[in-house]
């Protein structure tokens, strides 16, 4: 059994503690052999626990391992190529990049900040496909954002849900719930944004469809977090719908599943 002197890890939540134990990590110095992205992939490990571990490492003159780079000079060449191809004028190349990056970013990655500014810039690109892809990728990368940059850029992301091309707006909206799954602060800003959009979209051409996607997004977020606040807000929004037909339609998303 590891004695107290050896077990110098800081106090973190039970799920995160079990995640470390499952990975065989019982000493602080062992964390210097793993990157933040790899740590976040452990079941039960969240951004708050990673922050505590990072601060403890720093206080002891240590740090997480830097992400491994396939070419020794930057992010993996394949990732870099696909990121550049998001802006390709060749539709097939662009779509290939889109599907590849979305699948990769379903799990925490260690290249988020190398792509971040490019993706934020892409939210206002002249090509609506670039805007759609950039918004979906940013939503996916929220889980790989220990610095919380998504909090600063969230309004830019939310703005895409009002895009002049509704298909672009909808792609963004349907991915946005993933921001709320990244942590409490992210969830709070996501919920406030959803409430605001639910209220203001009533006057928009596709308002009922937008409201449907918001309720569905809240359902997805609840499934991922089991946060009772998410459910309460969703049901309150549904109840605020004055059209009985649509109220029933939105309620159907939660019926027998909440």
3-state secondary structure of 86: coil
- Asked if 120 contacts 153 with a C-beta cutoff of 8 angstroms, the reply is yes
Q: In this predicted structure, what is the pLDDT of residue 65?
A: 78
Burial of residue 196 (number of CB atoms within 10 Å: 0-12, 13-18, 19+): exposed
Task: Output the CA angle 134-136-141, nearest 5 degrees.
Answer: 90
* pLDDT computed for residue 255 by the predictor: 82
Confidence of residue 6 (pLDDT cuts 50, 70, 90): low
196-202 long-range CB contacts below 8 Å, 24 or more apart? 197/158, 197/161, 197/173, 198/237, 198/240
What is residue 243's predicted lDDT score, i.e. its pLDDT?
A: 95
pLDDT score recorded for residue 69? 53
**Structure confidence by residue, pLDDT tens digits, 175-215:** 999 999 999 999 999 999 999 999 999 999 999 999 999 99
CA-based nearest residue to 237, from 214, 204, 203: 214
**Separation of alpha carbons 45 and 107, rounded Å:** 13
Residue 67 to residue 40: CA distance in whole angstroms: 13
Number of H helices, E strands in the chain: 14, 0
Higher pLDDT, 38 or 232: 232
* Alpha helices by DSSP H, 60-148: 77-85, 91-104, 112-122, 128-141
* 12-47 CB burial, b ≥16 within 10 A, e <16: beeebbebbeebebeebeebeebbbbbbbbbebbbb
Q: Could you read off the pLDDT of 19-46 as tens digits, one per residue?
A: 888 888 888 988 888 877 677 767 787 7
**CA-CA distance, 94 to 96, in Å (whole number)?**
5
Higher local confidence (pLDDT), 82 or 191: 191
Q: Tell me if 213 sits within 8 A of 174, measured CB to CB.
A: yes
Q: DSSP assignment, residue 3?
A: -
Structure token digits, residue 241 = 């719908």
Q: What is the mean pLDDT of the chain?
A: 88
């Amino acid at each position: 059994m590891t004695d107290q002197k050896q077990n110098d890890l800081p106090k973190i939540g039970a799920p995160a503690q079990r995640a470390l134990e499952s990975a065989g990590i019982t000493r602080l110095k062992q964390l210097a052999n793993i990157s933040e992205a790899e740590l976040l992939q452990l079941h039960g490990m969240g951004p708050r626990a990673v922050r505590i571990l990072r601060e403890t490492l720093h206080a002891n003159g240590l740090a997480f391992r830097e992400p491994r780079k396939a070419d020794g000079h930057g992010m993996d060449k394949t990732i870099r190529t696909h990121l550049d191809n998001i802006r390709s004028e060749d539709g097939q190349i662009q779509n290939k990049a889109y599907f590849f990056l979305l699948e990769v970013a379903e799990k925490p990655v260690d290249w988020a900040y190398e792509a971040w500014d490019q993706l934020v810039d892409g939210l206002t690109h002249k090509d609506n496909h670039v805007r759609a892809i950039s918004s979906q990728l940013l939503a996916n990368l929220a889980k790989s954002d220990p610095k919380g940059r998504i909090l600063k850029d969230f309004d830019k992301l939310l703005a895409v849900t009002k895009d002049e091309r509704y298909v672009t707006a909808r792609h963004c909206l349907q991915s946005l719930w993933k921001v709320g799954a990244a942590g409490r602060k992210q969830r709070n800003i996501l919920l406030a944004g959803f409430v605001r959009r639910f209220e203001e979209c009533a006057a928009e051409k596709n308002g009922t469809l937008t409201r449907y996607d918001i309720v569905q997004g809240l359902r997805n977020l609840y499934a991922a977090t089991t946060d009772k606040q998410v459910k309460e807000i969703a049901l309150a929004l549904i109840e605020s719908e004055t059209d009985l037909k649509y109220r029933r339609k939105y309620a159907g998303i939660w019926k027998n599943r909440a």
